[in-house]
Amino acid sequence: MGDLDFFKGVASDVLLNSITEGSADSVLDIVAKENHLGCCEEICKKCPSLLYRLNYNGDTPLHHAAWHGDPKMVKFFISADTKMDFKNEEDIESQGGEIVPNKKLLMMKNRQGNTALHHAVKKRHHEAAMIMIEADPDNKLLIMSNNNNQTALDLAVESKYFRILRIVFGKVPYMANDLKKKAFNLIATCDNLAMVELLIEADPDKKLLRMVDDSNKDSALHWAVRYQNIKILSMLIKADPDKMLVRVVNEDKDTALHLAVRLASVGAVKLLIEADPDLEYCPNNSGETPLLIAVNEDMTASATFHMLSEIRKLLLKAQPSQCKARIDDRGWTLLHLATRKGNLRAIDDIIQISPDCVHLVDIEGQNFLHFAAKYELVKVMMHVLGSKEIPDSVLNGKDKKGNTPLHTAALNGTESVVLCLLYYPKVDKTTVNGKGQHVLDAVSN
């Protein structure tokens, strides 16, 4: 098929009637696939209509050239199409070709609705794609959709074809908004820093950056945390100086900080706290603040345990007032919860950051030592009494029934906790509760 002399000597009608069985490829299609540029030039001189003849799949010779990625061939077909003028139309019609006024070869689609540019992008033929983009100054080609409603630019985004996207977005920045859904998904999941930087640059009004996912209302920041991509997370935070992203909540009312704590991602938590240290730790639909998650989360693995401890300290140092906040309608504080969970490290962290919180009581008037006694947490009691300077008012504090922690332990019948308190010198063993019971009476009973 590459015999140039043959094509110079062959009659036009032979070329026009040479159709491949099955695919319905013309002779021009075949030589285009095989990259025989000289032969293509000769065929087009004799039979210009073959430029527009479609094979069984609806492909033009330009489709084939784009698929195979020969930039010289692509340039030739575009040039040949441009040179076609009214004088050629009679030749085309007489040869069975279809005249479509003002419709360039570039814009022709096959049965799947793909243009030649779709083909070039799919196959990542950069030079061929750029030739076609440059040949379309109005950028109509870029937004032509195939039967799946995909533009060539959509395909570039989905396949993370960075090289072509940089050029296109630099050429036509507004195109990013036409692709906002797909570009958003790319920002959310991409591990290519240059790609994310490009998409951020192409979004000066921050519309893309502040979009949320249709399914669960996650922002790009949520997704960066989910994928634990710290570098992308940092880029997104820096691209949002107004601190809007860190405040976005998803359908569960989780901020990105909620997710970062739940995933025990220390790096993500640091970045999010630094982004907005004054951001209030709001509860999600489950009533959990990020700090509550850090105290409440199950810690089955030692690695997770240590990471959550570090995260908890970061959160507490950023907002120590959270230690005194009530976490539910029972009037519990974080210290009550940490005690109930038997989380010794959380107890230490909370008391270290906010020593005054040991005085706080729930709606029943019980402090955290009452909890240790009530829930038979001997390890907590031993740890606290052995390592903390607990005020007498807490050691001997009375709840609404007049019970001290020792009363509570005795009435509960928890011998180990009772003994801890009895042997602690600052514990008052002579006090009475609201019923007039002495501690030792409760112990003996």
143 close to 151: Cβ distance less than 8 angstroms: yes
- The 3-class secondary structure across the chain, one letter per residue, is CCCHHHHHHCCHHHHHCCECCCCCCEHHHHHHHCCCHHHHHHHHHHCHHHHCCCCCCCCCHHHHHHHHCCHHHHHHHHHHHHHCCHHHHHHHHHCCCCCCCCCCHHHCCCCCCCCHHHHHHHCCCHHHHHHHHHCCCCCCHHHCCCCCCCCHHHHHHHCCCHHHHHHHHHHCCCHHHHCHHHHHHHHHHCCCHHHHHHHHHCCCCCCCCCCECCCCCCEHHHHHHHCCCHHHHHHHHHCCCCCCHHHCCCCCCCCHHHHHHHCCCHHHHHHHHHHCCCCCCCCCCCCCCHHHHHHHCCCCCHHHHHHHHHHHHHHHHHCHHHHHCCCCCCCCCHHHHHHHHCCHHHHHHHHHHCHHHHHCCCCCCCCHHHHHHHCCCHHHHHHHHHHCCCCHHHHCCCCCCCCCHHHHHHHHCCHHHHHHHHCCCCCCCCCECCCCCEHHHHHHC
Q: Domain span at residue 127?
A: 1-136
Higher pLDDT, 182 or 329: 329
Q: What is the CATH number of the domain that holds 75?
A: 1.25.40.20
* Residue found under tokens 């009494």: 385
pLDDT at 279: 86
- The answer to the question of residue 44 being in a domain is yes
Per-residue pLDDT at 405 exceeds 90? yes
Q: Is the pLDDT of residue 442 over 70?
A: no
Nearest-angstrom CA–CA distance, 400 and 361:
10
39-75 pLDDT, tens per residue?
999 988 888 889 999 999 999 999 999 999 999 999 9
Phi-psi group of 315: left, alpha or beta (phi > 0 → left; psi -120 to 50 → alpha; rest → beta): alpha
For residue 141, being part of any structural domain is answered with no
417-428 pLDDT, tens digit per residue, is 999 999 999 999
Asked whether residue 125 is domain-assigned, the answer is yes
Would 315 be classed as within a structural domain? Answer: no
**pTM > 0.75: yes or no:** no
Q: Which is higher by pLDDT, 220 or 94?
A: 220
Does any domain span residue 149?
no
Rounded CA gap, 398 and 282, in Å? 32
Quick check: is 385 in a domain?
A: no
pLDDT for the residue 86: 41
Q: What is the pLDDT of residue 438?
A: 80
Lowest mean pLDDT among 98-102, 254-258, 433-437: 98-102
Does 70 fall in a domain? yes
Choose between 154 and 129: higher pLDDT.
Answer: 129
Token digits of residue 209: 């950056």
pLDDT at residue 197 in the model: 78
Tally of domains within the chain: 1
Q: Give the model's pLDDT for residue 2.
A: 53
Instruction: Tell me the mean pLDDT in the region 216-231.
Output: 91
For the stretch 3-35, pLDDT in tens is: 777 777 677 777 777 777 667 889 999 999 998
Q: What per-residue confidence (pLDDT) applies to 120?
A: 95
Q: Does residue 43 sit within a domain?
A: yes
